[in-house]
Amino acid sequence: MTDHPVTFGVLPGGSSPSEFLTAAQTAEALGYESVWVGDHVLWPAFWPEPLTMLAAASAVTDRVALGTGVLLAALRRAAPLAKQTATLQWLAEGRFRLGVGAGGEYPLEFAASGVPVERRGAYLDQTLEALQQLWSGAPVTLHNDVVQLDEAVLDVVPEPRIPIWVGGRSPAGQRRAARFGDAWMPFVITPERFAEGWVNVRERAEQAGRDPDAIVPAVQMWGQFDDDLAEALGTIAARIEATYRTPFDKFERYTVYGDAEMWVTRLQEFVHAGVRHVNIVFAGGDRLAQITRIAAEVLPRLRGG
């Protein structure tokens, strides 16, 4: 994986359907590898459902991969989720990837979904186990704490198989990536901690009989591009503090902001730590302009490792 080229995806967001869809088309035209949408079932601010948004994006794009970054899969029933994701893979003609994470920062959405927040990791693992089996199209009999299936056969079989991108920087997230993941994509992580975690993911994958080189080392991070450093800092700090209720100086080490030189320097730290795919979550401002300038001024200097 060390010689694998570095690829880039965006979580463009959008305050309207047209803004989101235009951003997806722009990202595709500018050569980004993928477009992603995050997930919350309940959240204090506006947050549309990601599988629906990606289905719309699939209709207005042709090449770019489409992913959930990340879906709180434990909040969904396995069989309906298998059908939804398989249908999205069909609509997207094989371009969908399922990013998943345990979440937990907003316990109200777990309570509303009937999932004990303290058991979210176990629920996620058991849901992923069921998804992988259901996607095969073969009869599935599976009984665990979350899933009860007897000779269940999914009538929409995803082709090709849907890749699973596993989020989570914790040891549990690393174990999950080693077991289920086609990629490990932690969020809110430093380059140093990523490097340590990536060693663990690879070791655990080998122990499980999997090829660690088949797992993509990826990261998702907050970013703000602006030649005016004060403007970039103000925008991203305000967004982080509003979202996480924490001072930005405690969160800054997980972000990238500023002009092209600052972006290249910062992202190179992650590339040197082993990252081969970067997802950018925009904090605010003109996202289309940022997507365009990053594609022109930053990505060419980082591609190819």
Quick one: tokens of 114? 């009937």
In this prediction, residue 4 has a pLDDT band, given cuts at 50, 70 and 90, of confident
Question: The CATH number of the domain where 84 resides is what?
Answer: 3.20.20.30
The 10s digit of each residue's pLDDT in 109-147 is 999 999 999 999 999 999 999 999 999 999 999 999 899
Q: Establish if 112 belongs to a structural domain.
A: no
Mean pLDDT of 46-71: 98
Task: Specify if 145 maps to a domain.
Answer: no
Residue 139 within any structural domain of the chain: no
Residue 140 belongs to a domain = no
* 28: in domain: yes
Let me know if residue 155 belongs to a domain.
no
The DSSP call for residue 81 is: H
Q: Give the pLDDT band (50/70/90) at residue 3.
A: low
Range of the domain at 258: 7-102+161-301
Please check whether residue 265 lies inside any domain of the structure.
yes
Radius of gyration of the chain (CA): 19
For residues 203 and 96, give the distance between their C-alpha atoms in angstroms, rounded to a whole number: 27
pLDDT band of residue 305 (cuts 50, 70, 90) is very low
User: Does pLDDT of 67 surpass 60?
Assistant: yes
Domain count, the chain: 1
Tokens representing 176?
A: 């999950």
Asked if the bond preceding 70 is cis, omega within 30° of 0, the reply is yes
